[in-house]
Amino acid sequence: MRAVVYESAGHFAVTTVPTPRPARGEVLLRVEIAGMCGTDLHIHDGGFFSAYPLTPGHEIVGRVEELGDGVAGLDVGQRVAADNTVLCGHCSYCRRDQPLFCRNFRSLGVNAAGGFAELVVVRAEKCFDAGDLDLMTAVVTEPLACVVHGMDVLDLRPGADVVVFGAGPTGLLLAQALLHGGAARVTVAGPTAFKLELARSFGVDCTVLVDRSAPAESIELVRAVAPDGFDVAVDATGAPELIERCPSLVRDGGTVLVYGMAGESDRTAFSPYEIFRRELTVKGSFAQTHCFDRALAELRSGRIRADGIVTHTFGLEEFGAALDAVRSDRSCLKAAIVPGTSS
Ligand SMILES: [Zn+2]
Ligand SMILES: [Zn+2]
């Protein structure tokens, strides 16, 4: 089969590799669509916890091609969204029901073979029926599952005034989850007008067009929306210069949620006195486990919308162009690889 293969960071080829076979308890999926996100750029550069050689692609939707021994409840031909996380089940964190911190955490497309390929092998229990969803909706299941986990972590108080930095796919999904999860008002700040327009079409109350190259000025534009402070400031950009300023935007007793992925070596300065005196809370939210079913329920009901999020699709052979689009095409909100096409 054809697959994207990285031999090392920064060095990939679209090449022919042996067709994988499902072992006991596994299924082989024919990939229909695999979403790309900023994480794939980090992986390209050797960041996150990527391990090579690697076929990336962690946002996987496919049709069941073949069932391994002992698999029940799935049918050949069925469309599923695949939870890319693999948990060991026996480390100290798994045994205390904190599987996200699994010492042997594996993630298809990060440190195990992922979905930028014609076929991918997935554990059967990680396959969630998505037969009733169109591909452009189903493909946001993984990022939305991460958002569901973020909402669990945030534990939002009803009536909260919330600002989200970042109007990328994640920011737009998170803003909707906040909106329907009890926030009284949601403001989204981002540097791209069409993405903010989409945010408004999804019901977001207020948007602020900011200039990425001027973080200090951007913060002041956002502060003007809530001069007395937001209850919650969420960073969905991973930009340290924004995260650093988030405490100044929340009310006393407020919460900063670090949702976007910063670089591993990035550092920001917080005032411990301010965190103490103002009783601020800083929370982190990383990936997800066990959130696919709720993400699919939100997509199925239409409560959370995905229309317009995927703006660019590419064939498998065009993986390089897809990376370029994610990296630098301002008209690209979300790109996806559709292995069955060539354009
Ligand atoms: Zn992703
Ligand atoms: Zn574990």
Look up the CATH architecture of domain 2-140+306-337. Alpha-Beta Complex (3.90)
DSSP state at residue 95: H
Ligand 2 mean position, distance from CA 85 (Å):
11
pLDDT at res. 266: 93
Q: What is the mean pLDDT of the chain?
A: 96
Reported as a single tens digit per residue, the pLDDT across 70-97 is 999 999 999 999 999 999 999 999 999 9
**Cα of 289 to ligand 2 centre, how many Å?**
12
Residue 282: band (very low, low, confident or very high) from pLDDT cuts 50, 70, 90 = very high
Task: Report percent pLDDT > 70 for the chain.
Answer: 99
User: What are the strands, taking DSSP E only, across the chain?
Assistant: 2-8, 11-16, 26-35, 59-67, 79-82, 85-86, 106-107, 119-123, 127-129, 161-165, 185-190, 206-209, 230-235, 250-258, 281-284, 310-314, 334-337
- CATH code: domain 147-284 is 3.40.50.720
pTM attached to this predicted model: 0.96
Residue 46 has pLDDT above 90, yes or no: no
> Do 2-140+306-337 and 147-284 come out as alike in CATH topology?
no
CA 79 to chain centre: 20
342 confidence band (pLDDT: 50, 70, 90): low
How much distance in Å is there from the Cα of 189 to the middle of ligand 1?
20
Domain ranges of the chain: 2-140+306-337, 147-284
Q: Write the pLDDT tens digit of every residue in 7-22.
A: 999 999 999 999 999 9
Helices (H), the chain: 38-44, 92-95, 135-138, 141-154, 169-179, 193-201, 215-223, 240-243, 272-277, 292-301, 319-328
In angstroms, what is the span from residue 124 Cα to ligand 2's centroid? 18
Query: Which residues make up the environment of ion ligand 1, defined by Cβ < 5 Å?
Result: 37, 39
